[in-house]
Structure 1
Amino acid sequence: MTTFEIYKRRRRYISQSTRIILISVGLGAIGGCSTLPAAGPTSAQIRRAETKDNQTGFQIVDIDAATTARLAIHGATTTPLATLDEVGRTDTLGPGDTLSIGIFEVGVTLFTRGNGAAAQSSFTPSASGTDLTVRVDSSGNVQLPYVGRVSVVGKTPGQVERTIEQGMIGLSQRPQVVVAVKTNAFNVFYVSGDIRTPGRFELGLPRERLLDAIARAGGTTNQPNDMIVRVTRSARSAETRLSEINASGDQNIALLPGDRIELFNRPRTFLVFGATEKVSQVAFGASSLSLAEAMARIGGPSERTADPAAVYLFRYDTSLGAEPKPIVYRLNMIRADSYFLSQRVEMQDKDVIYVSSAAANAPGKMTQIIGQLFTPLALARSLTQ
């Protein structure tokens, strides 16, 4: 066989292979467009999923004027910290407090009468009176010489003064008692978490409020929109975002002894999928965010692959009842009024935005695939000619 005959046979083989591949690809293109790579379901596929194999029971709701009235930005609608607010005092004594008790007498005094009594007591006689330092025990009592056990828990220093004076009647001439808190271990609150100076702080006589306490602890270095404030009082606790606490609002509760304040970072985010420039998780970065602002942050629908008439907001909605319901809100960005409506829809934490791929993308993708398949064949054919 000559070289020319070998060359002709090779060309016939390549031509036959090319025709076979063309036929195979053409047949695949007729019935296989739905299996082409895609960023997610098309609008038609989402509509079909609502009525077929809908395991979560989601519903598709168009964003219109009626829907927007329910989804509009209203600001903070709940005040969870306000449920902890109650009347209380910060001037009473409790276990662990260290008290300074001054006792003043006239004439022959009880505490200086006889060296034996003075030597056996934990007090210091002076020209003007006697100073004692005592600690409130776990039962809320203090032990005083001659007077005995005195219950001070839940009482103010003034009430304890009168109690001690009553106990000294008949033992001393016109006794006068002054009680002061030397070390405060009961009227305190605690601040922990993402705060500059965590620790234990004493409560002043005027009832301090929550924002005052956070300021005393140095505040936080993070954005208030991302910070959660949790207050635990006795066996109850509640939390809200720091940005939702106003100085004059009912969430700026007055503190009580033993309150524990925790601050931790929990940014609100939404997720982006589908025909956009990038699948991502995006932080709110503000106290409130509208759907229009969220779309702008992700760069909007892709001009090359997206169907702007099919932008979906996936959400477990709690505005329709006590139990969260899976709702898919559909926004048609081809309509001009949708840009007004989307400005009023408030984003919620962990919302999912999905931009559907355009159905017209399938033929274009098939053309790209065919071109990629035949580029090597064309190159081989040119080399054999």
Structure 2
Amino acid sequence: MRRLAPLLLVALAAAGCRPADGPSNGSIQSAHLPGGGQKIPVIELADAPSGAASAFAPTPSDLGAGLSALGGGAYNSERLRPGDVIDVTVLDTGEDGLFASTNSKTLNLGRFTVDQKGFVSMPFVGRQRVAESTPTGLERQIVSGLKGTSVNPQAVVTIVDKPSSAVIVSGAVNAPGKIPLTAKHEKVMDAIAQAGGASGKPDAVDVTIVRGKRRATASLSRVMNEDRQNIYLQPDDQVMVEGGASTFTALGAFKSAGEIQFEVGKLSLAQAVGRAGGLLDDRADAGNVYVFRNQYIKVPVPAAVNDKTPTATTLQMRPVIYHVNMRKASSIALMQLFQMQKDDVLYATNAPLVDYAKLFTIYQKSAPTAAAPAPSL
């Protein structure tokens, strides 16, 4: 039976029955997307663009509307909202009327809180809808309400407090909490700055704005670099800053496999291999190291029937695999230019003989022997 071992190993290897810690080189090269069956592109490191932030640089339109989808102009801090507190004083310059029985020509009606339906009730004036009105507009309402009881009425409305005119900033910021909106017309970056700034790097942090039943998201780096993403905030907006440190994952035949933190734009592929402890000399296949990444790639747009125009392309987020042959000296130089991105997976395959050796070890194991009978008493 022992003489059949070499033939058995060859037969099992040909059938793909090899013990392994992950996908083989062949399975990676022929990998397809689940369901759709589309082949995942495998790009040689020499064919990757310098820096390799992505195979094709996406334009802002490719990234979607982001926060700009919420739109909206600057918040008008003069407009009254439920919960606002106002102070009202009326004046009468006529000889007869509201103040005829007093020596004073002014009367402070008091402070009033706008109720949840947007109304306030004031003496001599009655119940008035004031939501979305300005102090100037409310003064005109009061004057109109006093006609008939005052000869030449005038009114002064002062906003005392606007507790509802604020936004909530939460998540990965250094000082989360409520940020009041003022006449300065605060934008997203203003609120994040007042909250102590983001606790993570811009490329690793997403900003989500929740406005009523609507929400929109963009990366912090995009908000910083695109004016249209740094939108004006509105009362009751929720600004959620999510994310933290960027990481990549090293799997397979590395000395220190695992999840490793880094700063985007400051870690090359060569450095990433070093962070993972380098390849295992007795196990790794230096000719087949891979980087798995989700990035924007050009995807053909289906043409209409009988359309004679060239097939158009669009950019879509798809999986891409980069292949690195570390046996080549040129690859080491290219690895210094290839920049790691957030959520990359760095994978080193086993050398073929390693898997064969595992199979041989399994075959060589002796069959378990029966346990010795228990001694009789």
One fold, TM greater than 0.5? yes
**Please, which of 2, 14, 22 is the counterpart of residue 40 of structure 1?**
22
What is the TM-score normalised by the length of structure 2?
0.73
Which structure has greater helix proportion?
Answer: 1
Amino acid at match of 1:143: S
* Cα distance change on mapping 1:226 and 1:50 into 2, 3 Å: closer
State whether residues 306 and 357 of structure 1, in contact with CA within 8 Å, keep that contact through their aligned partners in structure 2: yes
- Whether 2:127 is the aligned partner of 1:140: answer no
- Whether 2:87 is the aligned partner of 1:100: answer yes
State whether residues 89 and 106 of structure 2, in contact with CA within 8 Å, keep that contact through their aligned partners in structure 1: no
Partner of residue 217, structure 1: 195
**Paired residue secondary structure (1:245):** helix
CA–CA distance in structure 1, aligned partners of residues 42 and 200 of structure 2: 37
- Whether 2:175 is the aligned partner of 1:175: answer no
* Cα distance change on mapping 1:76 and 1:318 into 2, 3 Å: closer
CA–CA distance in structure 1, aligned partners of residues 285 and 18 of structure 2: 17
Q: Comparing 248-257 with 288-297, which one deviates more in the overlay?
A: 288-297
State whether residues 109 and 122 of structure 2, in contact with CA within 8 Å, keep that contact through their aligned partners in structure 1: no
Partner of residue 189, structure 1: 167
Q: Give structure 1 stretches of 5+ with no counterpart.
A: 1-19, 116-124, 375-385
Amino acid at match of 2:72: E
CA–CA distance in structure 2, aligned partners of residues 131 and 286 of structure 1: 60
**Paired residue secondary structure (1:320):** strand
* Cα distance change on mapping 1:197 and 1:113 into 2, 3 Å: farther
Q: Give runs of aligned pairs for residues 70-81 of structure 1, distance below 5 A.
A: 71-72=52-53, 78=63, 80-81=66-67
- Whether 2:41 is the aligned partner of 1:63: answer no
Deviations 1:204-245 (A, max 9, x none): 112012222123234455555544321112332122333543
- Whether 2:349 is the aligned partner of 1:356: answer yes
User: How far is 1:61 from its partner?
Assistant: 2.0
State whether residues 231 and 260 of structure 1, in contact with CA within 8 Å, keep that contact through their aligned partners in structure 2: yes
Q: Give runs of aligned pairs for residues 154-169 of structure 1, distance below 5 A.
A: 154-169=132-147
**Paired residue secondary structure (2:132):** coil
User: How far is 1:37 from its partner?
Assistant: 4.7
CA–CA distance in structure 2, aligned partners of residues 274 and 324 of structure 1: 25
CA–CA distance in structure 2, aligned partners of residues 138 and 339 of structure 1: 66
**Paired residue secondary structure (2:251):** strand
User: How far is 1:85 from its partner?
Assistant: 3.7
**Paired residue secondary structure (1:295):** helix
State whether residues 67 and 229 of structure 2, in contact with CA within 8 Å, keep that contact through their aligned partners in structure 1: yes
User: How far is 1:40 from its partner?
Assistant: 2.9
State whether residues 51 and 337 of structure 2, in contact with CA within 8 Å, keep that contact through their aligned partners in structure 1: no
Q: Give runs of aligned pairs for residues 106-117 of structure 1, distance below 5 A.
A: 106-108=93-95, 110-113=97-100
Pair member with larger Rg? 1
**Paired residue secondary structure (2:80):** coil
State whether residues 210 and 253 of structure 1, in contact with CA within 8 Å, keep that contact through their aligned partners in structure 2: yes
Amino acid at match of 1:62: I
Identity of matched residues, % = 30
Q: Give runs of aligned pairs for residues 206-245 of structure 1, distance below 5 A.
A: 206-222=184-200, 224-245=202-223
Count the aligned residue pairs: 342
State whether residues 169 and 177 of structure 2, in contact with CA within 8 Å, keep that contact through their aligned partners in structure 1: yes
CA–CA distance in structure 1, aligned partners of residues 283 and 3 of structure 2: 28
**Please, which of 142, 149, 152 is the counterpart of residue 127 of structure 2?**
149
**Paired residue secondary structure (1:68):** coil
Amino acid at match of 1:202: P
**Paired residue secondary structure (1:96):** coil
Partner of residue 256, structure 2: 278
State whether residues 56 and 326 of structure 1, in contact with CA within 8 Å, keep that contact through their aligned partners in structure 2: no
State whether residues 58 and 326 of structure 1, in contact with CA within 8 Å, keep that contact through their aligned partners in structure 2: no
CA–CA distance in structure 2, aligned partners of residues 67 and 282 of structure 1: 23
* Cα distance change on mapping 1:288 and 1:154 into 2, 3 Å: farther
Amino acid at match of 1:242: L
* Cα distance change on mapping 1:363 and 1:99 into 2, 3 Å: closer
CA–CA distance in structure 2, aligned partners of residues 178 and 247 of structure 1: 44
Partner of residue 230, structure 2: 252
What is the TM-score normalised by the length of structure 1?
0.72
Amino acid at match of 2:140: R
Q: Give runs of aligned pairs for residues 22-41 of structure 1, distance below 5 A.
A: 23=3, 37-41=19-23
**Paired residue secondary structure (1:87):** coil
Q: Give runs of aligned pairs for residues 365-380 of structure 1, distance below 5 A.
A: 369=361
Q: Comparing 213-222 with 253-262, which one deviates more in the overlay?
A: 213-222
Q: Give structure 2 stretches of 5+ with no counterpart.
A: 300-314, 367-377
Partner of residue 7, structure 1: none
* Cα distance change on mapping 1:237 and 1:46 into 2, 3 Å: closer
User: How far is 1:24 from its partner?
Assistant: 6.8
**Paired residue secondary structure (1:304):** coil
Partner of residue 378, structure 1: none
State whether residues 318 and 325 of structure 1, in contact with CA within 8 Å, keep that contact through their aligned partners in structure 2: yes
Deviations 1:136-167 (A, max 9, x none): 22332322333333332222212222332233
* Cα distance change on mapping 1:362 and 1:213 into 2, 3 Å: closer
User: How far is 1:42 from its partner?
Assistant: 3.6
CA–CA distance in structure 1, aligned partners of residues 51 and 202 of structure 2: 26
**Please, which of 175, 179, 182 is the counterpart of residue 201 of structure 1?**
179
Partner of residue 83, structure 1: 69
